[in-house]
Amino acid sequence: MVASAGWGCAVSAGEAAHEFCPRPTPGSVVNEPEDLRSQNGVLRLELTVRNEKPKDGATRYCYLLGDGNQSPTLRLKPGDLLVLSLKNELSDTAPRPTASQPAHVHHKADEASAPCASGAMTPTSTNLHFHGLSVPAVCHQDEVLKTSIQPADPPFEYRFRIPDNEPPGLYWYHPHIHGFSSQQVLGGASGALIVEGLERANPEIVGLPERVLVIRDQDLVNPDTPASATQPATQALIDRDGDAANTGTGAGRPAKDLSVNFVPVPYPDYPLASIAMKPGERQLWRVLNASSATYLNLAALYKRGAKFRPQWLGVVAIDGVPLNANGSPGHATEWRDSVVVSPGARVEFIMIGPPAGVPAMLVTRTVDTGKGGENDPNRPLVSIVAAADAPAPRSTLPASADPLPRGALPWLGSVTPTRVRKLYFSEVLEDPKNPHSAMKFYLTVEGQTPATFDPRTSEPNIVAKQGDVEDWIIENRTNELHAFHIHQLHFQVLDWLGMSVNEPFLRDTVNVPFFSAQMKGYPTVRLRMDFRDPNTVGTFVYHCHLLDHEDGGMMGLIRVEPADAGHSSQASVLALPRAGVK
């Protein structure tokens, strides 16, 4: 399908009363986003980004097609060309950034600057980041440092090919204007992007109906209401490897409300959104955590006897990468009773519908974000209704598929790293004498001076070389959980809190455990970073994917030089470990 947005211009008196970004009512059926598919190797579409402030006082953002549909799912195959024209029709109705965000990000747009060089960061500036894709960090593709589109600009064209070696799975698109990313994503500016072919990596999902679920957060609708006593008993916390473990209370008011495909599930009563499945039906659920700051710990609970009990979920892909993407000939399905999904991360799993007459729900269990973190308690999201006449999801995977070919490069986990670097998260109060003052957020390369990210600089914190593989040790010196993310590439998690993990798949986002006084040292994760792809050449960012932290300066700059550019900088590089030592 080829879509056209049909761009508007000035808002008329009649349009003023119209909701550009309408939302379903709580308790609604969860409808899937519109599917837009490539034709003859090309997907062309026109999107308009708008915002509005409805009666509830929250600011909504939306990506609109010409027919009014919001946030379509973009479906492309490896090698396909995406041509996306974005028209900015934002108005200055958004709330101003918090005091923790650096003042220099609010400079006005230079009317004489083209969007590729503007770098303007204002409440009405926008751009797009294609999260997880390994496309080059150049303007009109996936560059977010200087690319800035203003309402007065003509439609801006993004044009790039999905790499032939892009792993099949779930990716997404969202704005990445430093200082304003959080409020735009919090308002709903996000959508899914699928690289087709996941069934080629895992024959267990061939022919399954597939369902796309985008979970977003938003400011609380009822922030002053006491917590409800009717929350289901779904308590669990994340353990040392990021999965669920039953420790903690998991109650109280959440930091943010959640929605499922824009259907709100607001605190404190959590009226459930609704999904119907045929009894016992197997579906592939593709779940994107498009939250600005909320961690998910997803579980399916089916009522057996007097209690709701967890149902196994067959995880087949994380962050757009199949679980067997390590060059092995076999496929992998990991059956879990819950899965943690960081802000920005994705999970794809086999969902088995409940038997007829059995109540069931999708919930998010509590995530312990640390003493300094936000509250992400237990809460239900979706009622799963078993019905013989349940409508089929929008899409179904092909009934047959040729296996994916082996990767051309050696498996990342078997490559000896060229060097080891250490980075760390830290936070300080702007006024150390005032515990209620704003927080400064840092993501620092060991040996450098902590500083909030300055978008005016072109000096990178790290210089790497295309063709190299590096190990990065990410340390958390704060008392809250952080989610590390890097653009343009995936990485392998090697160990977590000093314990070997060696996951047989790759990620682009990972949780870094928080520090507590009981620990003997700061918690770390060790990641194997892959700069072998020529598409990684360029300058791009790494940051915490809690977007208020990113906007507040918890971000760094990396420049990857071409393979023939000579030796990369060795500043702040640790000594290589002995063979076999992690």
**Helices (H) and strands (E) in the chain — how many of each?**
5, 38
Return the SS3 of 14.
Answer: helix
pLDDT in tens, 531-567: 999 999 999 999 999 999 999 999 999 999 999 876 5
Question: How far is residue 293's CA from residue 550's CA, in Å, rounded to a whole number?
Answer: 10
Contact 93, 51 (CB under 8 A): yes
CA distance linking residue 286 with residue 170, whole number of Å: 7
pLDDT top residue among 565 and 223: 223
In angstroms and rounded to an integer, the radius of gyration of the C-alpha atoms of the chain is 23
Tell me the mean pLDDT in the region 206-217.
98
Q: Is the pLDDT of residue 458 over 90?
A: no
d(CA 62, CA 343): 19
435: left (phi over 0), alpha (psi -120 to 50) or beta: alpha
**pLDDT value at position 329?**
55
The tokens for 194 are 């699928």
pLDDT of residue 216: 98
What is the per-residue pLDDT across 406-426, written as a single tens digit (0 to 9) for each?
888 999 999 999 999 999 999
Task: Please tell me the predicted confidence (pLDDT) of residue 239.
Answer: 30
CATH numbers and ranges of domains, the chain: 13-196 (2.60.40.420), 203-396 (2.60.40.420), 412-574 (2.60.40.420)
Lowest mean pLDDT among 31-35, 129-133, 354-358, 400-404: 400-404
Average pLDDT value for residue range 241-247:
27
Residue 99, both tokens:
């005091």
Residue-by-residue DSSP string for 448-500: SPP----TT----SEEEETT-EEEEEEEE-SSS-EEEEESS--EEEEEETTEE
Give the pLDDT of residue 416.
96
pLDDT of the residue at 372:
86
Which pLDDT band, with edges at 50, 70 and 90, does 435 fall under? confident
Q: What angle do CA 530, 533, 534 make, to 5 degrees?
A: 135
Residue 176, pLDDT > 50, answer: yes
- Residue 41, both tokens: 């190797």
pLDDT of residue 545: 98
CA distances (Å), 30 to each of 23, 170, 317, 457, in order?
11, 19, 23, 44
* Distance between CA atoms of residues 191 and 130, nearest Å: 10
CA 82, CA 160: separation in Å to the nearest integer? 6
Question: What is the 3-state secondary structure of 525-569?
Answer: EEEEEECCCHHHCEEEEEEECCHHHHHCCCEEEEEEECCCCCCCC
Picking from 510, 509, 503, 505, the residue whose alpha carbon sits closest to that of residue 525 is: 510
Q: What's the mean pLDDT in 335-364?
A: 97
- pLDDT surpassing 90 at residue 93: no
Place of tokens 């006005």: 108
Given a cut of 90, is residue 195 above it in pLDDT?
Answer: yes
Q: Catalogue the E-assigned strands of 53-113.
A: 60-64, 73-76, 81-88
- Other C-beta atoms closer than 10 Å to the C-beta of 396 total 13
Angle at 181 between CA 145 and CA 125, to 5 degrees: 65
* pLDDT of 253 strictly over 80: yes
Average pLDDT over residues 36-62: 93
Q: Which two tokens stand for residue 87?
A: 């028209």
109: pLDDT strictly greater than 90:
no
Is 545 buried (19+), middle (13-18) or exposed (0-12) by CB count in 10 A?
buried
- Give 182's pLDDT tier (boundaries 50, 70, 90): very high
Residues 62-68, mean pLDDT to the nearest whole number: 96
Q: How confident is the model at residue 113 (pLDDT cuts 50, 70, 90)?
A: low
Segment 266-293 mean pLDDT: 97
Q: Which residue do the tokens 């960012």 mark?
A: 541
Residue 228 pLDDT level (bands cut at 50, 70, 90): low
Among the ranges given (212-221, 430-439, 536-545), the one the predictor scored with the smallest mean pLDDT: 430-439
pLDDT category at 357 given cuts 50, 70, 90 is very high
Percent of the chain whose predicted confidence (pLDDT) is above 90: 73
Q: What percent of the chain has pLDDT over 70?
A: 85
Q: What is the pLDDT of residue 229?
A: 60
Q: Are strands 209-218 and 282-289 parallel, antiparallel or unpaired?
A: parallel
pLDDT of residue 267: 93
Check pLDDT > 80 for residue 376: yes
Q: What is the pLDDT of residue 574?
A: 55
Q: How crowded is the C-beta side of 350, counted as CA atoms within 13 Å?
A: 24
Lowest-confidence pick of 246-250, 353-357, 503-507, 570-574: 246-250
Rounded distance between C-alpha atoms, residue 326 and residue 387, angstroms:
39
Q: What angle do CA 501, 503, 505 make, to 5 degrees?
A: 165
The DSSP secondary structure of 310-341, one letter per residue, reads EE-EEEEEETTEETT-SS-SS---EEES-EEE
Contacts 24+ apart (CB under 8 A), 401-407: 401/197, 401/199, 401/200, 401/203, 401/206, 402/200, 403/200, 403/201, 403/203, 404/168, 404/197, 404/200, 404/201, 404/322, 406/327, 406/329, 407/165, 407/325, 407/327
pLDDT digits (tens, 9 = 90+) for 3-42: 333 443 333 444 445 688 999 999 999 999 999 999 999 9
Q: Mean pLDDT, the chain, as a whole number?
A: 87
CA distance 317 to 110: 43
Instruction: Flag whether pLDDT at 98 surpasses 90.
Output: no
Q: Answer yes or no: is pLDDT of 245 > 70.
A: no
Tokens of 155: 């439609």
Per-residue pLDDT band for 240 (boundaries 50, 70, 90) equals very low
Q: What is the mean pLDDT of residues 181-197?
A: 97
Comparison of pLDDT for 372 and 161, the residue scoring more: 161
3-state secondary structure (DSSP) of residue 141: coil
> Tens digit of pLDDT for each residue in 488-529?
999 999 999 888 887 888 999 999 999 998 898 999 999 999
Interatomic CA distance for residues 551 and 103, integer angstroms: 11
Predicted local confidence at residue 101, as pLDDT:
44
Of 358 and 456, the structure prediction assigns the larger pLDDT to: 358
3-state helix, strand, coil in the chain (%, to 5): 5, 35, 55
Could you give the angle at the alpha carbon of 350 between the alpha carbons of 349 and 355, nearest 5°? 135
